[in-house]
Amino acid sequence: MKPLLTSKHNSISKRYINLFRTSNKLKYNNNQFDPKDIPSLNRFSSYTKQAKENNFKHILKIIAFGCTFMAGTFFGLPLLKDYIPKDPNVVIYSIVGLNLAVFGLWHIKPNNFSFQKKLTESFLLQKNFHILKLRQMILSGFSHREFWHLGCNMLCLISFSGPLIATIGSVGYLSLYFNALMMSSMFSVLYPNILKALFKRVSSTSFNPSLGASGALFGVFGVFSYLYPNAHLSLFFIPLPLGAWQIFIGSVGFNVMGVVMRVGALDFLAHLGGSVVGIFYGLYFKHIIDKKRQARAGRTTSLFDIFK
C-alpha cells in the first residue's frame, strides 16, 4: 500500500511566470528562448502579482462554477454508468495516462515561448483573477512538471484506487475524484481572494500558481481511510504504526497548520479542499454500504442510492 500523499500543487517561480509577459530583458528569435531563461519549476519561490480591485464578483463566479460542476458530476455520472468501464484498471490507468500526456506536453518544447504560454493558460492554476481561466480549475489537476511529483502522485493513485473502486464502483470513484479535484481548486483560489477582499492585505505566497493531482488524491485517501480505518500503510516500504484513518486525520492537522503558519510552498488549501470532499463521500458511501447490507438482510434500501 503506497502511503505518501504528495502535494497537489507546485509553486511557480516569479521568473518563470514573467516569461509570459512582455519584457525587454528577454532576447529571443522565432519564439525561441535561451534555455537559461526558462528555469525548471521551483517549488520554493514566490509569485507576488495580485489583483487590487474588489474581487467579490469573481468570487461568486468561482463558487457558481464549482458548485455547478460538482452537482453535475454527482448527479450526472450515475446516468452514464452504462458507458463507464467497470474494470478498475481501465479507470485507474486512464487517469494515469492523462497525467502522463500532460507531463509530456510540458517537456516537448520547453524552450518555445508560445507553446509554453498556451500550456500555462490551461494547465496551471492561477490565483489572480486577472489571469485565472475556469478551465484551469479542472485541467491543472492533471498537470505535473516535475517527474518526482508525477511519480509520487501516480503511485498513490494506483495504490489506493484499486480496492476503493472494488468497493464503491467506477461511477462513485470518478464522482469522488472529479469533485475532490474541483473542491481543492476552489479552496486554493477562493481563500486568498476572500481574505484580500475582506482585509485588503494577504500574504503574496497565497497567490502562488499551482498544479498537480494531490488535491484529488487527498479525497481518494479520505474515503479509503474512512471505509478502511484500520488498514496498515507503509512509507516507501517502511510500515507505519498507525491506521489509515489516524494518518488521514494527522494529514488534515498538518495541512491546517500549514495554512495557519504559512509554512513552505505547498498548496495546503488544495489538500484541505480534497480532504473535505473525501470526508463527505466517506460518510455517503458508508451509508450506502450499510443500506445494502440491510437490504441483503431482508430490509429495504433508499431509492436515492444512485451509486449502487
What residues are annotated to the active site?
214, 271
**In Å, how far are 18, 31, 39, 86, 121 from 34, measured between CA atoms?**
14, 10, 10, 48, 22
Give the Cα separation of 261 and 24 in Å (integer): 38
- Which residues lie closer than 8 Å to 202 by C-beta, 6 or more apart? 50, 192, 195, 196
What crossing angle do the helices spanning 88-108 and 147-199 adopt, rounded to 10°? Answer: 80
The one-letter code for the residue type at 128 is N
DSSP secondary-structure letter at 112?
B
- Which residues lie closer than 8 Å to 72 by C-beta, 6 or more apart? none
- Give 238's strand partners: 235
Q: Are strands 28-29 and 232-235 parallel, antiparallel or unpaired?
A: unpaired
Say how many C-beta atoms besides its own lie within 10 A of residue 53's C-beta: 11
With contact defined as beta carbons under 8 Å apart, do 215 and 273 qualify?
A: yes
Give the Cα separation of 133 and 130 in Å (integer): 9
Please tell me whether residue 143 adopts helix, strand or coil conformation.
coil
> Where do we find the cell 468497493?
167
With contact defined as beta carbons under 8 Å apart, do 8 and 217 qualify?
A: yes
Closest by CA position to 7, among listed 181, 207, 211: 211
DSSP secondary-structure letter at 79?
G
